[in-house]
Amino acid sequence: MTEIAITDAVDAYLQRKAVGDPDGPGAGAYAANAESILRRFADWIDREHGVESLAALEADHMRAYAAELRDRTDRGKYTASTAGTYYAVVRAFLSWCVRGGIVDTNPAATETATAELPRTEQRPADDRWTAEHRRRLETYVRKRALGTGADGTDRDPETRRNRLREYAMVALLAHSSVRGAELFRVPEDDRRTGATWEDVDFYAGTIRVLGKSQRLEDVRLLAPARTPLRRYRVVLDPPSNDWPLFPTRHAPSIARRVRETLRDRGYGEDEIESLLERRTASQLARERSIVPPAITTEGARSVLKRLCAEAGVDEDSLTPRSVRGEHDDERSRREASQPTPALRASVGERSIAVPRPRPSVPDAGSNPGADGDGPTGTN
């Protein structure tokens, strides 16, 4: 059989899907969603196992890929359903190769390979917190943020900004169906860079995220999530709408982004170092409208773990997902695309296009204060 490179087969597969495929509807959209998954798979299998051709791809390699997806799930990088979606896309691609006579068998279809995948049904029954857990954590972060707690005497701007950030983070996870991988940055996935203020529509009460289907989805934000988010935006005062909702507070990551961006803008190394001598990286990012990276899923987990310890919430299997209430995720997302009752009443049930106005953006030079690296500078 002719040796065909995996990358060449991926190109042919995507081209076929992009123009339409008799295998099913929505083929063009599927190609756009599958492209990044398949290209990352081809890069991973070449880098980790030295496999470049389809003929060299074996069931053991796919077993290793499934184990890698499970490991990322265990570390909180992916959900089990996301890992399953990634594997399913690769498996579908290889099935197409079999139908086209490129390979004889599908190495991803073996039981030895699929047995390594994380199982969604094995998720612990107590993965979601009790109402008491959420109430206790929310009460703690709300009192700290609004200055009504026992330790609410410290009202300097940096402390207030950080506490409102934590309040907004908990509220979003608790009162929407948004997932941690949609809200925060996933380092291994170049499409999941974290939600930005441009994604938030306060008028419609939604946030636009890259869903687990790899498509953009509007997620409903309930009032208990919107109000803390509004308060947090006022004190964060993002210089632009592409600013992350939750910028990282990891100083080295911010400095790295600042240096890279200034180099791209034509600054020399001496000029960059001179600027950083007079300003922190966070201050310079604000002054020069350099968008910092968003906090990672692991960083968000660390924040939540610390808040739980402070609030006296004992939760061993903490994940951003576990903070969420008993939402019907798919129903919430479908309903987010429908007008709210108040909006329907205001237009008399007429079918009209509702614009998505964005919040006003302050001048890039306003509020040049630092973003507030914490004591550890890691989150």
Evaluate whether 158 touches 370 at the Cβ level (below 8 Å): yes
**How many Cβ atoms are within 10 Å of 28's Cβ, its own excluded?**
12
**How many angstroms separate the CA atoms of 195 and 243, rounded?**
9
Q: CA-based angle 233:134:187, to the nearest 5?
A: 55
**How many Cβ atoms are within 10 Å of 51's Cβ, its own excluded?**
17
Contacts 24+ apart (CB under 8 A), 129-136: 129/315, 129/322, 129/323, 131/325, 133/313, 133/315, 134/174, 134/323, 134/325, 136/311, 136/312, 136/313
Q: CA-based angle 108:190:326, to the nearest 5?
A: 80
Which tens digit of pLDDT belongs to each residue from 292-327? 999 998 889 889 889 988 888 865 445 565 565 544
Whole-prediction pTM: 0.59
Angle at which helix 59-74 crosses helix 27-49, to 10 degrees, equals: 100
**How many angstroms separate the CA atoms of 184 and 218, rounded?**
16
Q: Buried b / exposed e across 329-357, counting CB within 10 Å, b at 16+?
A: eeebbeebeebeeeeeeeeeeeeeeeeee
Q: Buried b / exposed e across 262-280, counting CB within 10 Å, b at 16+?
A: beeeebeeeebeebbeebb
**How many Cβ atoms are within 10 Å of 235's Cβ, its own excluded?**
17
**How many angstroms separate the CA atoms of 40 and 328, rounded?**
31
pLDDT in tens, the chain (379 residues): 568 999 999 999 888 876 544 444 344 455 666 888 899 999 999 999 999 999 999 999 999 999 999 998 888 778 888 888 889 999 999 999 998 888 889 999 988 888 889 876 444 444 455 677 788 889 999 999 987 544 544 568 888 999 999 999 999 998 888 988 899 998 877 788 999 999 999 999 999 998 877 788 899 999 999 999 999 999 999 999 999 999 999 999 999 999 999 999 999 999 999 999 999 999 999 999 999 999 998 889 889 889 988 888 865 445 565 565 544 455 555 544 444 443 333 333 322 233 344 443 333 333 333 333 333 344 5
Say how far residue 129 (Cα) sits from the centre of its chain: 21
**How many angstroms separate the CA atoms of 248 and 183, rounded?**
13
Which tens digit of pLDDT belongs to each residue from 169-227? 999 998 888 988 899 998 877 788 999 999 999 999 999 998 877 788 899 999 999 99
**How many Cβ atoms are within 10 Å of 200's Cβ, its own excluded?**
24
CA dihedral of 143, 147, 148, 154, whole degrees rounded to 10? 110
Evaluate whether 56 touches 99 at the Cβ level (below 8 Å): no
Q: In what order do the strands lie in the sheet with 200-201?
A: 200-201, 206-210, 216-220
Domain 131-246+298-346 has CATH 3.40.50: no
The 3-state DSSP class for residue 208 equals strand
Domain 6-122 has CATH 1.10.530: no
**Can you give the residue ranges of every domain in the chain?**
6-122, 131-246+298-346
